[in-house]
Structure 1
Amino acid sequence: MSWYCDVAPGHPHHGPYHDQEYGFPLTDERALFERLCLEIFQAGLSWLIVLKKRPSMVAAFDGFDVDTVAAYGEAEMERLLADAGIIRNRRKLEAIVENARRLQALRAREGSFAAWIERHHPLTKNDWVKLFRATFVFMGGEVVGEFLMSIGYLPGSHREDCPVQARVRAAAPPYLRVDPAFYR
């Protein structure tokens, strides 16, 4: 098995993400939406491309503010498609706008994206994928799995001997401390 922990140390893009973000719990809606969008952008591409383009994508998507992105129309779509600083795949861009709209509806029903995720925890990866596919668009197994691993809901973000793993565990609230055997 290949580990992100083996690629990241000292790398100018992978290193900071691995050491400060990957696997750490998130509850902020904007941060969760950004992370979900980044995973959509990554589908079929390398994570390095996504990390390099991340600052431009944050700017292009108004900081990944859910309500702002949900209001995007054709003019914003044309602006995004013309922006060489971002990943310009129409299907991915349309999915992000649609998911912002779906996230608004989810927020109205569930209170928040974070609360919705927490209420369904723990689930196996397959069950998470089914849930995300029923709720959002462009939700393949890799997108859902990496999103949930990146926010601490699925195990495997770090090797047991990775120094960051101890910090991830310490940051995890009690509801995220599930016996790894559950996922097997």
Structure 2
Amino acid sequence: MSYCAYIETMQPEEKKALHKNYHDNYYGFPIHDDNELFGRLIMEINQAGLSWETILKKEQSFRKAYNNFNIKKIAAYSNADRERLLADAGIIRNKLKVNAAIENANVILALQKEFGSFEKWLEHHHPKTKEEWVKLFKKTFRFTGGEIVNEFLMSIGFLPGAHTENCPVHQKILKQKPMWTKKK
């Protein structure tokens, strides 16, 4: 069953509304702000082993805990910040995931220096197959397995598959020219 059809079959309505908002307004749409790109990566990393619904419910808590996904601030987090995050019941309190967010923020700062932005680094490597992307992400970032990389890239318009072709949202995304429609 496609993600698009999956939304229509969800129960109860509150759960359906949460997923529908993400599906209709965020999933698959290109993101051009590095902090928001990084925020999506944090969310995808934290979803590992959990439901996406859990992450969506905690999104505002993640934003608050991680300084609205500000890469520079997260890269400068101290041990006290790590402890604060691990004690924050509003987010996923997993030491590997918290450490990955901080380490990945530092990696992105280096990528920004070299390429101008995280988005430009992604564009520099486009197009790639899912397998090539996974290999690159595993070499570059922490806690980025195949499913995390696939969902992250689909969710930001770098890989196709976020929506079925007959989904009305698919047409809205195509108008924004996602990367998977562009060739080098």
Taking structure 2 as the reference length, the TM-score comes to 0.92
1:36 to 10, 32, 41: 41
How do 1:85-104 and structure 2 match up within 5 A? 85-104=90-109
1:77 to 82, 86, 96: 82
Return the letter of the residue paired with 2:69: F
The residue aligned with 2:4 is 5
- Residue 143 of structure 1 aligns to a residue whose secondary structure is helix
| Maintained 8 Å contact 2:160/2:180 | no
The residue aligned with 2:136 is 131
Q: How much has 1:6 moved relative to structure 2?
A: 2.1
Q: How much has 1:176 moved relative to structure 2?
A: 3.5
Return the letter of the residue paired with 2:23: H
Supply the RMSD in Å over aligned alpha carbons: 1.3
**How far apart, CA to CA, are the structure 2 residues paired with 1:139 and 1:60?**
21
The residue aligned with 1:15 is 20
The residue aligned with 1:153 is 158
Which consecutive aligned stretches of 4+ in structure 1 deviate over 3 angstroms post-superposition? none
Q: How much has 1:12 moved relative to structure 2?
A: 2.2
2:67 to 27, 50, 62: 62
Return the letter of the residue paired with 2:104: N
Taking structure 1 as the reference length, the TM-score comes to 0.92
Return the letter of the residue paired with 1:5: C
Return the letter of the residue paired with 2:5: D
| Maintained 8 Å contact 1:81/1:89 | yes
Structure 2: segments with no counterpart, 5+ residues: none
Q: How much has 1:99 moved relative to structure 2?
A: 0.1
Percent identity (aligned): 51
**How far apart, CA to CA, are the structure 2 residues paired with 1:57 and 1:7?**
26
- Residue 8 of structure 1 aligns to a residue whose secondary structure is helix
The residue aligned with 2:181 is 177
Structure 1: segments with no counterpart, 5+ residues: 180-184
